[in-house]
Structure 1
Amino acid sequence: MKQTEHLAQIAACFHCPDFEANLILGGAQYREYAHRAPVAFRGDVSAHLYLVLDGLASADLYGPDGQYARLVGYGAGELFGAYPTPVRHRADIVAEGSLSVLMMETAFISGLAQSHARIAQGISEFMARQLDLLLDRMAARIGLSANGRFYQALLSRADSDGWIKPLPVVSAMAVGVNTTRETASRALAHLLRRGIVKRHDHGLEIVSIRMLEDLVI
């Protein structure tokens, strides 16, 4: 069952047919990490590319005086690691809550991209979307309220039909927008009460994108 789900997630994230998705899955390894478990350490050589299936991978940095900063959080459907060649990790990568990923060797996924145009196109589009999302998060952190950042994150995760699949983990999203789980939970409850979003077993449906956009302040 998990293999079928992983295939569907790869096809959706890389925007590729099942044939190419199967090629990617063939070289991927499934990994699970408990809360605050290390995925990688700053300075280590990264020779893998990771696709987040569920949870949040946090890129943490500590200064010489012990000052802590979270550079970025990678949520479900996002990539982190090395591509197209190995690099050194710029920060510690740790699991924020339960984290599950598909791990692929950088050389393997780069080789597939060189020999399969659909995979190369999928990766380039994937990374372009993720860069836009990262810039949105940076802008939101500076200019929006905590609720506004959470609502913007929901909009960013939604597909063209207004669906967020699978159901987002509120605690992981809260970390991703630099707020508390309680604040994020109240913000989501507000949307549910007003009927702006609906919760389903398989995902979250944004009923009125315009009304949600109006709350991003």
Structure 2
Amino acid sequence: MGAGGNSLSSSDPSRAAIRLAFGCDDALAQSIAALGRETAQPRGAVLWPQSDRHEAILMLAGRAQEVAYGRDGAILLLHLLGPGDLFGDLVGGGDPVSQVEAVDHGRGAHFASATILRLMESYSCVGLAISRQLARRLAGLRHRMVETALLSATGRICAELLRRGGDQPDRTIRPMPVMSELAVTVQSTRETVSRTVSQLERRGIVRRVDGGLEIVAPHRLEEQAY
């Protein structure tokens, strides 16, 4: 990811992404875009932290994940991020204990941390949108902590599938889950995840469709989880 980046104000799709993320009108989206810069996010790149910059990054396209690594090689997945999600140094200061990595190719809008704080103070829609986003992430962490402590590996896998596809109108997880990535999310192994998904397919609880995994029987999947 280069140090420069393109001006956001010249990109209509980027302004549309800002408008959707913060629930603001086009005029405010234009003003916000003028304060940031746009960069490409190659697959596998470490998006944050970056050198000594105190920045917050808004995902415009693509997917990323926030992870922490242990000394023994263990990986803890904290958050899955997609278009409209904000991550990075939101308040300034402190040593990061995790990093954000691009899962596939995407784009991001970079803002100085101080700029984000000013926007939150000046525009209620921005402050509300970010507060809701952080609250959802906290709720997600709480669910995963409980599931890790109380559910079996199979239960955690089913709960994660239900979480990803249950809110979709067609109950389909897109793109198709990557078994190794799903294993990191639920703190299991790729083999266990692959075996569990195959068993769910044989029972008719989920099925592979074009570009994704459809939850055919959500109630049965919930029974498998809990």
Q: Report the TM-score, using the length of structure 1 for normalisation.
A: 0.71
Q: Which of 189, 203, 221 is matched with 1:212 structurally? A: 221
Matched with 1:197 is 206
Matched with 2:110 is 104
Bigger Rg, structure 1 or 2: 2
**Within-5 A mapping of 1:99-138:** 100=106, 102-105=108-111, 106-138=113-145
C-alpha distance 168-161 of structure 1, shift in aligned 2 (>3 A): same
Structure 1 stretches of 5 or more lacking a match? none
Q: Secondary structure at the match of 2:132?
A: helix
Contact 1:163 1:206 in 2 (8 A): yes
- Distance between the aligned counterparts of 1:103 and 1:126, measured in 2? 17
C-alpha distance 203-115 of structure 1, shift in aligned 2 (>3 A): farther
**Within-5 A mapping of 1:62-211:** 62=71, 67-77=72-82, 79-83=86-90, 85-93=91-99, 95=101, 98=104, 100=106, 102-105=108-111, 106-158=113-165, 159=167, 161=169, 163=171, 166-170=174-178, 171-201=180-210, 203-211=212-220
Structure 2 stretches of 5 or more lacking a match? 1-10
Q: Secondary structure at the match of 2:23?
A: coil
C-alpha distance 136-97 of structure 1, shift in aligned 2 (>3 A): same
C-alpha distance 110-204 of structure 1, shift in aligned 2 (>3 A): farther
Could you say what the CA RMSD is over the residues aligned between the two structures, in angstroms? 3.8
- Distance between the aligned counterparts of 1:5 and 1:198, measured in 2? 35
Percent identity over the alignment? 29
Q: How many residues are paired up? A: 208
Contact 1:40 1:89 in 2 (8 A): no
What displacement does 1:213 show?
0.8
Report the residue type matching 1:192 in the other structure. Answer: E
Q: Name which of structure 1's ranges 179-188 and 89-98 shifts more when overlaid on structure 2.
A: 89-98
